[in-house]
Amino acid sequence: MQSLDLLNFNQFHRRNSRASALIVSCGIALSAVVSTNAATETPDEMAPVRVFDQVVVPVPHEIFAVLDDLGIRGWKGVAPLPKRPQRISRPQAALLLGAVVAEGFLAVQAEDMDKTKDLGPEVLELADMLGVKNEVAGHARSIVDGADEGRWDDVREELDKTQQTVRNAMTKLRDDDLAAFVSFGGWVRGTEAVSHVILDSYTVERAELLRQPDLARHFSKTLKAVEGSAAKAPGVKTMNKALDKLSKLMSKEMLTDIEVKQIEDICTESVAAIYGAKVEAATDE
Amino acid sequence: MSEVPQMNNSNSTHGMKTLVKNRTLQCGIMSLAMMVVTPQVARAVVDDAHSFALEAAQEDVEKGGVKIRYDYASGSLKNGQTTTVGYQVFRGNAYWFYLGSSEMVTKFTVSVTDADGKEIKGEVKKFDNSYIFQFVPERTMLVAVTLSGVAEDAEEFSWALVYGYKTVNQSDSDSDEVKENESE
C-alpha cells in the first residue's frame, strides 16, 4: 500500500486487532436514506453478516462535536478542498456537493465566516448542475445569512437539510446512484478531516471515532452496484479501491496513529479523485 | 427480538402536542409496544409518521439540546413484517431515536442491537403514539434498529425513524496514552 511508504513514524502501537462484527447491507431504496442492493458480498473473515434495509449516514458534526467536547481545536488546519474543475458531469456534481456540504460542517466547526459564506453559492452551483437549484436555493441563502450572523447551529441545520433535500430530489428523479454519491462525497471528506484532526492530538480513544467499517462496506457495496454514466464518474475506480482498504483498516479494534494517517491519506486521495485528479494509477497497486 | 409490554394511552390524540406522561421504562433491552386510540383519524402517509416522530423529539430539542438529523429512515410495513435500519453511532455522543407511525393504533416491536448482535440497553419513553429510545453507546459502531408492527385498523402502516444526538461529558481516558512516536 503506497501510503505506508509515506509514513515516517518511528513507533506506533501495533495492537492485536480482530475483525469486528460487521454488516453487509442490502435492501430497498426508501426515503432519502442510502440504500444498497441485495447482492452477494464476501464479508471479512470471522465477521458475522447482518442485513440492513436502509443505512442512515451520519453528518461530520456528529464526530466533530465529540472531538470539540474533548477540547480538540485543529479545524482550520485541514487542507482545503481541491479546486473544482470547470466541466463536471452530474455524477461528479453529486459527489462534489456531498464534499462541499462536509466542508461546510468543517468551516462551521472552525467558525470561519468567510469560508462558510463562500460555500453557499458553491452549493447552489452544484445543485444547479444536478437540476435541483430551486429546491436548494433557500438553504444556500440561509447558510450565507447564518454565517453572516454567526448562527452556527442554524448553519449546521441548513447543511444537513441541503444534503437531505438534494438526495430526496435525486431519489424522486430515480437517480438513486447520485443520491448515494452525495452521501459518499460527504462521508469521505468528513472522514479525511476527522483523521487529520485526530492525528494532530492522537489518542486511541479519539481514533476510535474512525471505526466505521460497516459504513465503508456499505458504501463499497453501493458504489460497486452503480451502473451507467455514474459508474464512469471521476474517482469511482479510486473510491472502490479506497473503500476496500478503509473497511479493513477501520475494522481494527484499536487504530494506531499510523493507521489513522493511512485513513487520512486514502480519503485525501479519494477526494482528489472525485475532483478529477489523476490518482487512479496510485491506487492500482 | 423481544416480546413487548403493552403501553396503553387511551386518550391521546394523534398530532397533539400534549405530552403523555413520559413513562420511563427501565428496560434491559428496547422492547416495547404502544396502543393509542383515536380511531377517526384518516389513514396517514409516511410524512405523517415523520411529523409525529419530530413532535416526539420537540421537547428534547428545545429543552435538552438534542440535535436532530434531517436524514431519517422511513417506509411502509405490512403487519408483522420486519425491517432493519443501520445507524452509525459514535462514543462520546448520546443518541435518541424517535419512532413515529401513521396509524393511530400500532403495536410496535423494536430491537436495537450492537455490532455483535447484542441488544443495547437504553431508556424507553412514549410520546403520544411515538416511541423514544435513548442510549449512550459504549463504543463507536453501527447499530441495527429492527422494527415490526401491527396496526389495529389496517393491514399495513407507514413508519419513520428520526434520530438525534448530543455530546456527553466523557473523560478522554487515554489522553496521556500512546504518542510514543513523539517520545521515542
Mean pLDDT by 10 residues, chain B (184 residues): 33 30 36 34 63 95 94 94 96 96 87 91 90 94 94 91 90 44 37
A215 closest CB neighbour out of B46, B92, B142: B142
B117 contacts in A (CB within 8 Å)? 21, 48, 50
d(CA B126, CA A245): 42
What CA dihedral angle connects A244, A250, A256 and A258, to 10 degrees?
30
- The CA–CA distances, whole Å, from B93 to A34, A35, A238, A271, B137 equal 22, 24, 32, 27, 7
Closest alpha carbon within chain B to A15: B178
Residue B85: its H or E element:
strand B82-89
Identify the residue whose cell numbers are 403523555.
B20
Which pLDDT belongs to residue A109? 93
> Contact, B44 vs B92, CB < 8 A?
no
Which pLDDT belongs to residue B13? 30
Q: Work out the angle at residue A95's Cα, subtended by the Cα atoms of residues A91 and A97, and round it to the nearest 5 degrees.
A: 110
More confident residue, A28 or A78: A78
> Contact, B99 vs B159, CB < 8 A?
yes
B149 by DSSP, 3-state: which? strand
Identify the residue whose cell numbers are 458480498.
A41
Which pLDDT belongs to residue B153? 86
Examine the pLDDT at A81 and tell me if it is beyond 90: yes
Q: How confident is the model at residue A183 (pLDDT cuts 50, 70, 90)?
A: very high
- The CA–CA distances, whole Å, from B95 to A131, A198, B74, B86, B148 equal 35, 22, 18, 13, 21
Which pLDDT belongs to residue B172? 53
Which pLDDT belongs to residue B105? 75
Mean pLDDT across the stretch A70-96?
Answer: 89
Taking an 8 Å cut-off on Cβ atoms, the answer to whether B83 and A61 are in contact is no
The distance of B157 to chain A (nearest Cα, Å) reads 15
Residue-averaged pLDDT of chain A: 81
Mean pLDDT across the stretch A170-177?
Answer: 88
Which pLDDT belongs to residue A76? 84
> Contact, A123 vs A139, CB < 8 A?
yes
- The CA–CA distances, whole Å, from A97 to A219, B17, B146 equal 17, 37, 31
Q: Where are the alpha helices (DSSP H) in chain A?
A: 2-6, 61-69, 90-109, 113-129, 133-148, 152-172, 176-200, 204-207, 213-224, 228-231, 236-250, 257-274
pLDDT in tens, A221-262: 999 999 888 998 888 989 999 999 999 999 999 999 999 999
Which pLDDT belongs to residue A58? 94
B73 closest CB neighbour out of A33, A62, A164: A33
Identify the residue whose cell numbers are 462535536.
A65
Which residues face B133 on adjacent strands?
B97, B124
Examine the pLDDT at A90 and tell me if it is beyond 50: yes
Which pLDDT belongs to residue A48? 56
d(CA B57, CA B163): 8
Mean pLDDT across the stretch A272-283?
Answer: 71
Which pLDDT belongs to residue A49? 62
pLDDT in tens, A137-150: 999 999 999 999 99
Q: Which residues fall within 8 angstroms of residue A149, CB to CB, at 6 or more apart?
A: none
